Chain A
Amino acid sequence: MHKQIKHRDPHDVMTLKRLGSFHQTKLSFLRSFLREFKSWTFKCDLFDLNKQGFGTAVYSVNQDSRTYSLICFANELNDSERSDRVIATKWDAAFVLHDGIPTEKDIQRLKLNVPKQEVGRCSYKELTLSRANKSLRIFNHVVERLSNGVQPDLSLIKKVGYLYRTTAVYGSGKFGLADRYRIKDRKEINGPFRLEMMLVYLVRQFTFDQVNHIAKKNNPKLAVKLDQSIARKLGIGNSTGLGMAPFIINHPSLLHQWIFAKEDALRQIREINKVKESDLNIFKECLQLSKNMISTWKTDSEYQIKKIRELSNDIIKFESEYLSICAADREYLWNHLYKWIDKHLSFEGIEFIISLMMEPYDSIVNPLISKMSSNEDLYFNIPAYKKVSELKNIISTGYRNIIKIDFSKNKQNEKFWFISKNKEEPRLANRFDDEGSELEQPLAIARDIKALYFRLLEVPEDQILSEFLRNNSDLRHVVRRCFIAEKLPYSEIQDNSIGSNLMPIDMLRLKLSFFGAQKFDPRSDKWLRICMYQGAPLMNEISQTNDKWIYS
Chain B
Amino acid sequence: MTNGFIHNFMRSSSEIITVSKRATKAAGYSWGVAEEVGKNIDILELIGIAGIENLKSYLRDIQKKTPIGPNAIELQNKIDNECLCPILTGVCLIDDFKKVELLKEINFFNVSYPLLMIPFISKLSFLIGKRVSINIDEHVFRFNLDKYMFSESDVDSLVIEKGKNIKVSTFENDDSFTQEVWDELYALSTDTFVEENEKLKSTAAGAGLEDND
A316 to B30, CA, bound (A): 52
Whether, in the assembled complex, A408 has its beta carbon less than 8 Å from a beta carbon of chain B, the answer is no
Q: Is the CB of B12 within 8 A of A470?
A: no
**Shortest beta-carbon distance from B62 to chain A in Å:** 15
A466 to B95, CA, bound (A): 5
Q: Which residue on B lies nearest to A474, using beta carbons?
A: B30
Q: Which residue on B lies nearest to A478, using beta carbons?
A: B32
- Interface 1/0 per residue, A358-382 and B, CB below 8 Å: 0000000000000000000100111
Q: Is the CB of A176 within 8 A of B123?
A: no
Q: Is the CB of A480 within 8 A of B12?
A: no
Whether, in the assembled complex, A179 has its beta carbon less than 8 Å from a beta carbon of chain B, the answer is yes
Inter-chain contacts of B92 with A (CB < 8 A): 466, 470
Segment touching A, from B1-9, B131-139, B165-173, B190-198:
B1-9
A442 to B127, CA, bound (A): 27
**Shortest beta-carbon distance from B120 to chain A in Å:** 11
Inter-chain contacts of B3 with A (CB < 8 A): 112-113, 116, 120-121
Q: Which of A77-129 contact B (CB under 8 A)?
A: 109, 112-113, 116, 119-124
Quick one: which of B6, B30, B69, B127 contacts A109, CB cutoff 8 A?
B6
**Shortest beta-carbon distance from B172 to chain A in Å:** 20
A178 to B10, CA, bound (A): 10
Whether, in the assembled complex, B71 has its beta carbon less than 8 Å from a beta carbon of chain A, the answer is yes
Inter-chain contacts of B32 with A (CB < 8 A): 469, 473-480
Query: Contacts A120-B3, A477-B32: A385 and B97 contacting too (C-beta < 8 A)?
Result: yes
Q: Is the CB of A181 within 8 A of B98?
A: no
Inter-chain contacts of B11 with A (CB < 8 A): 176
Binding site for B on A (CB under 8 A): 109, 112-113, 116, 119-124, 172-179, 181, 377, 380-382, 384-385, 419, 442, 465-467, 469-470, 473-480
Q: Which of B13-61 contact A (CB under 8 A)?
A: 13-15, 22, 29-33, 35, 39
Offer 5 A-B interface pairs, CB within 8 angstroms, sorted by A.
A120-B3, A121-B1, A381-B94, A419-B22, A470-B71
Whether, in the assembled complex, B74 has its beta carbon less than 8 Å from a beta carbon of chain A, the answer is no
Quick one: which of A112, A181, A442 contacts B5, CB cutoff 8 A?
A112
Inter-chain contacts of A112 with B (CB < 8 A): 3, 5
Query: Contacts A121-B1, A121-B3: A173 and B14 contacting too (C-beta < 8 A)?
Result: yes
Q: Is the CB of B33 within 8 A of A473?
A: yes
Quick one: which of B6, B31, B35, B95 contacts A113, CB cutoff 8 A?
B6
Inter-chain contacts of A377 with B (CB < 8 A): 39
Whether, in the assembled complex, B161 has its beta carbon less than 8 Å from a beta carbon of chain A, the answer is no
Q: Which residue on B lies nearest to A479, using beta carbons?
A: B32
- Interface 1/0 per residue, B66-98 and A, CB below 8 Å: 000101100000000000000000011011111
Query: Contacts A112-B3, A121-B1: A384 and B12 contacting too (C-beta < 8 A)?
Result: no
**Shortest beta-carbon distance from B191 to chain A in Å:** 34
Q: Is the CB of B10 within 8 A of A124?
A: yes
Quick one: which of A109, A384, A480 contacts B35, CB cutoff 8 A?
A480
Q: Which residue on B lies nearest to A121, using beta carbons?
A: B6
Binding site for A on B (CB under 8 A): 1, 3, 5-7, 9-15, 22, 29-33, 35, 39, 69, 71-72, 91-92, 94-98, 123, 127
**Shortest beta-carbon distance from A446 to chain B in Å:** 15
A469 to B36, CA, bound (A): 14
A465 to B94, CA, bound (A): 12
**Shortest beta-carbon distance from B195 to chain A in Å:** 40
Quick one: which of B13, B31, B69, B71 contacts A181, CB cutoff 8 A?
B13
**Shortest beta-carbon distance from B30 to chain A in Å:** 4
A179 to B127, CA, bound (A): 26
Q: Is the CB of B13 within 8 A of A382?
A: no
A112 to B123, CA, bound (A): 41
Q: Is the CB of A123 within 8 A of B9?
A: yes
Inter-chain contacts of B98 with A (CB < 8 A): 385
A122 to B15, CA, bound (A): 12
Q: Which residue on A lies nearest to B98, using beta carbons?
A: A385
Inter-chain contacts of B1 with A (CB < 8 A): 119-121
**Shortest beta-carbon distance from A185 to chain B in Å:** 16
Query: Contacts A112-B5, A173-B13, A177-B12: A473 and B95 contacting too (C-beta < 8 A)?
Result: no
Q: Find the residue from B11, B14, B97, B127 having the highest chain A CB count within 10 A.
A: B14
Q: Which residue on A lies nearest to B99, using beta carbons?
A: A466
Quick one: which of B12, B33, B71 contacts A176, CB cutoff 8 A?
B12
Inter-chain contacts of A469 with B (CB < 8 A): 32, 91, 95
Inter-chain contacts of A174 with B (CB < 8 A): 12, 14-15
Q: Which residue on A lies nearest to B97, using beta carbons?
A: A385
Quick one: which of B14, B30, B31 contacts A179, CB cutoff 8 A?
B14
Q: Which residue on A lies nearest to B123, using beta carbons?
A: A381
Q: Find the residue from B9, B11, B13, B95 having the highest chain A CB count within 10 A.
A: B95
Q: Is the CB of A466 within 8 A of B14?
A: no
**Shortest beta-carbon distance from A15 to chain B in Å:** 25
Inter-chain contacts of B33 with A (CB < 8 A): 473, 476
**Shortest beta-carbon distance from A305 to chain B in Å:** 38
**Shortest beta-carbon distance from B168 to chain A in Å:** 16
A474 to B71, CA, bound (A): 16
Query: Contacts A475-B32, A477-B31: A121 and B13 contacting too (C-beta < 8 A)?
Result: no
Q: Which residue on B lies nearest to A441, using beta carbons?
A: B31
Q: Is the CB of A466 within 8 A of B96?
A: yes
A120 to B72, CA, bound (A): 46
Inter-chain contacts of B13 with A (CB < 8 A): 173, 179, 181
A420 to B97, CA, bound (A): 38
Q: Is the CB of B15 within 8 A of A173?
A: yes
A377 to B29, CA, bound (A): 21
Q: Is the CB of B14 within 8 A of A384?
A: no
**Shortest beta-carbon distance from B48 to chain A in Å:** 17
Q: Which residue on B lies nearest to A473, using beta carbons?
A: B30
Ordered nearest first, which 6 A-B pairs have the shortest CB separation? A476-B32, A173-B14, A173-B12, A466-B95, A384-B95, A477-B32
**Shortest beta-carbon distance from B41 to chain A in Å:** 14
A385 to B127, CA, bound (A): 11
A519 to B5, CA, bound (A): 41
A174 to B91, CA, bound (A): 28
Quick one: which of B30, B69, B96, B127 contacts A477, CB cutoff 8 A?
B30
Inter-chain contacts of A176 with B (CB < 8 A): 9-12, 15
Q: Is the CB of B96 within 8 A of A384?
A: yes
Q: Which residue on B lies nearest to A178, using beta carbons?
A: B12
